[in-house]
Amino acid sequence: MPERLDIIKTCKLFIGGSFPRTESGRSAPVHDGRGRVIAHVCIASRKDLREAVESARRVSDSWADASAYLRGQILYRMAEMLESRREEFASAISTTTPLTPAKARREVDASVDRLVRFAGWTDKFQQVLGCQNPVAGPYYNFSVPQPSGITGILSPDAPSLLGLVTMISAPLCTGCPVVAVASDSTPLPAVLLGEVCATSDIPGGVVNILTGNRAELIEPMAEHREVQVIAAANLKPAQRELIQTAAADGLKRIHLLEHSDSSWLDDDAAASPWEIDPYLDTKTIWHPSAT
């Protein structure tokens, strides 16, 4: 019986619903806790980022116009797909991070629950974050939340899966397409999450996931005028300043998340309506009343 060769996975980017290699041709090995190479991931370039934003732009109107019901169904479908691959995700987390298998499983479960929670919010945040305003005149005056547009995401190193899932599901819930840059040090869960997206009815281009060198992609993402919101977790002070400076020109919104390991797991902290609010603009409508 000949010895079987190792099949080491080549992880690709997730752009526009397909899995292209990076345009730059660069890749990096992923090691397990004992230093063995278990996969290779792409190092995305600024051109890959541009392609991802282009794909997101092509679907931004249709995703914003999709009914809240449909968006909820799709997020729930993502949760189902993630649930059916729990073991694979847990082993990806426990082999590439210091987490124990038990803790890794808890993170995967929390991620599934997080998706379900935001799926539930898709047709409810409007009531919480919108309102009818009292005005002095014969008018109804409504403040209606609207999706802000393409959202750039810089997800944290830890929790590698739960952080990314939380950060993409909040804008998806409002109707914003996302371009996410995964953690440099633990990209494997993000790559698998792309495969989950590809099989869960998410229209191609609504979720785009890039792996590679996060520091290299911060500036082009912040400068890209098509990106309307940037959400970033656990940034260094210099990176935060870089984003704020570059984003000023396009009047981009910035949402900085500062969660501890335990608050990522806490639904009230990480998945409250105030975590949905940063991806919304408010449209105010005046309507003549009958009197």
Partner 1 sequence: MPVERRVDTVMVDQRAGAFSRRSIKTDSKAAGLRLAISMLDLTTLEGKDSPDKVRSLCRKAMRPYAGELDLPVPAVAAICVYPSHVQTAARMLAGSGVKVASVATGFPSGQYPLDVRLKDVSAAIDAGADEIDMVINRGAFLSGRETEVAEEIRQVWQACDGAHLKIILETGELETYQNIRKASDLVIEAVASTGVLRDGEVFIKTSTGKISPAATMPVTLVMLEAIRDHFISTGIRIGMKPAGGIKTAKQALHYLVMVKETLGEDWLTPGLFRFGASSLANDLLRQLLKGLTGHYMAMHDFSEA
Backbone angles phi, psi at 170, to 5 degrees: -65, -55
Query: Closest approach of Cβ 176 to partner 1, in Å?
Result: 14
> Interacting stretch for partner 1, rule CB under 8 A, among 9-17, 65-73, 116-124, 242-250?
242-250
**Residue closer to partner 1, measured from CB, 159 or 175:** 175
CB-count exposure of residue 241 (10 Å: 0-12, 13-18, 19+): exposed
Contact 205, 180 (CB under 8 A): no
3-class DSSP state of 233: strand
Long-range contacts from 26-33, C-beta under 8 angstroms, 24+ separation: 26/212, 28/212, 30/96, 30/187, 30/188, 31/96, 32/95, 32/96, 33/95, 33/96, 33/98
58 lines the binding site for partner 1 (CB under 8 A): no
Alpha-helical runs (H) found in 150-236: 160-174, 188-198, 214-223
Q: Which of 11, 43, 52, 53 binds partner 1 (CB under 8 A)?
A: 53
Neighbours of 68 (CB within 10 A): 16
Q: Which of 26, 40, 50, 240 binds partner 1 (CB under 8 A)?
A: 50
Q: Which residues from 27-46 bind partner 1, rule CB under 8 A?
A: none
Query: Closest approach of Cβ 196 to partner 1, in Å?
Result: 28
Distance of CA 15 to the CA centre of its chain: 13
- Output the CA–CA distances (angstroms, integers) from residue 280 to 71, 91, 170, 202, 228, in the order listed: 15, 35, 10, 20, 10
> Interacting stretch for partner 1, rule CB under 8 A, among 66-74, 99-107, 203-211, 243-251?
243-251
223 lines the binding site for partner 1 (CB under 8 A): yes
| 141 Cβ contact partners less than 8 Å away, ≥ 6 residues apart | 132, 133, 134, 135, 284, 285, 286, 287
**Residue closer to partner 1, measured from CB, 135 or 248:** 248
**Residue closer to partner 1, measured from CB, 226 or 277:** 226
Q: Which of 129, 250, 254, 277 binds partner 1 (CB under 8 A)?
A: 250
225 lines the binding site for partner 1 (CB under 8 A): yes
Query: Closest approach of Cβ 36 to partner 1, in Å?
Result: 39
85 lines the binding site for partner 1 (CB under 8 A): no
DSSP labels, 171-184: HHHHT--EEEE--S
**Residue closer to partner 1, measured from CB, 57 or 124:** 57
87 lines the binding site for partner 1 (CB under 8 A): no
Compute how many residues bind partner 1; rule: CB under 8 A: 11
253 lines the binding site for partner 1 (CB under 8 A): no
Query: Closest approach of Cβ 217 to partner 1, in Å?
Result: 13
> Interacting stretch for partner 1, rule CB under 8 A, among 3-11, 23-31, 135-143, 220-228?
220-228
Backbone angles phi, psi at 17, to 5 degrees: 85, 0
Q: H or E stretch including 61?
A: helix 46-65
226 lines the binding site for partner 1 (CB under 8 A): yes
Instruction: Write out the residues near partner 1 by the rule CB under 8 A.
Output: 50, 53, 57, 220, 223-226, 246, 249-250
